[in-house]
Amino acid sequence: MDSGNWTHVEEFIFLGFSLPPAQQFLMFTFVLAAYVLTITGDLIIIVLVRVDITLHTPMYYFVSNLCFLGITYTSTTLPRMLRDLLAETKSICVLCCFIQFYFFFVFGAIEHLLLTVMAADRYMAICNPLRYSAVMSQDVCSRLAIGCWVSCGLALMIPTIGLFQISFCGPNKINHFFCDFTPLLKLACSDTALTEVVFHVLSWSVIILCVALIAVSYFFIISTILKIPSTSGRKKAFSTCAAHFMVVLIYFSTITFIYLRTNTNDSYYLDKVASVFYCAVTPLLNPIIYGFRNKEVKEALKRTLEKCKNAFSDFLIWRKNVS
């Protein structure tokens, strides 16, 4: 395209889902419910891990990090999606779009690394139980969590800076409900080859490396569990990593479907449906699988509620005595 005919794009418009009003409202209700339940569930687990001493373990430390990540991850896309489902014009400024892109993929990459670290934690707990407390100390856990956040934050700056070098000159309608990578580059008027290579190398490297490390961890975990002589011992060992394995399976299968396959124009609608799943449904499963189906978390919740009840009763007695 002749550079003299370029028009500077100041905003993008999301095409989102072309649905009748009734289905649009139904999707709004579903997304809103998923968002509220995700935030509520994650906050409850974070508070429980903080206040209940029985949950002061490496596993629940990483679970609380995962829950905090669930709050930030969903908040990059769902509030905007909810607004756009009710709005006639679904516009976003170029800078806001790039910021959304950056944080969406940063939080997604952090979740990859956290799930990998949690697999290593389960490996140490089951395969090296005698060294577990020494190796997975509080300091080590903090360093691993900080390393996940910092490394992903720095790595995703590279493709984001690449976006700022790309010219957007005319068409400004993104065939998605958020600033995803491929739909965004479809609007570019300049060469995007380098940015695409960098992004896909990062995507492939992170996903494949994490999947490989998790697979190796579970190979040794399962091998060790099968050597346990008692059935009850094997069942208990499996239960300690079942939640993590379920989340890994759901999360990586969805992400792989989107980002590690060849994208075609006729797959956009399917991509958007899958994106709703990993933006809204998968984060909702985390507090359910890790928290409210977990015996230790349910017991911690009962103890905390009992303490709150007693504190409230003491407060009422104090108010009665004062008055």
Q: Which residues fall within 8 angstroms of residue 300, CB to CB, at 6 or more apart?
A: 48, 52, 54, 55
The domain containing residue 64 runs over which residues? 15-295
- pLDDT of 4 over the 70 cut: no
Percentage of the chain beyond pLDDT 90 is 29
On whether residue 35 sits in a domain, the answer given is yes
Give the residue carrying structure tokens 């649009």. Answer: 24
For residue 42, give the CATH number of its domain: 1.20.1070.10
- pLDDT of 101 over the 90 cut: yes
On whether residue 93 sits in a domain, the answer given is yes
Q: Which residues fall within 8 angstroms of residue 214, CB to CB, at 6 or more apart?
A: 115, 116, 119, 248
User: Quick one: average pLDDT of 235-239?
Assistant: 75
In terms of average pLDDT, the best of 244-248, 253-257, 263-267 is 244-248
On whether residue 232 sits in a domain, the answer given is yes
For residues 59 and 312, the model is more confident at 59
On whether residue 24 sits in a domain, the answer given is yes
The predicted-structure confidence for 70-100, as pLDDT tens digits, reads as follows 999 999 999 999 998 888 788 899 999 999 9
pLDDT for the residue numbered 6: 47
On whether residue 1 sits in a domain, the answer given is no
The predicted-structure confidence for 279-317, as pLDDT tens digits, reads as follows 888 888 888 877 766 778 888 888 888 888 888 887 778
On whether residue 303 sits in a domain, the answer given is no
Number of domains in the chain: 1
On whether residue 143 sits in a domain, the answer given is yes
Per the prediction, the chain carries an average pLDDT of 84
The predicted-structure confidence for 135-179, as pLDDT tens digits, reads as follows 899 899 999 999 999 999 999 999 999 999 888 887 888 888 899
On whether residue 320 sits in a domain, the answer given is no
- pLDDT of 2 over the 70 cut: no
Give φ, ψ of 93 to 5 degrees: -70, 155
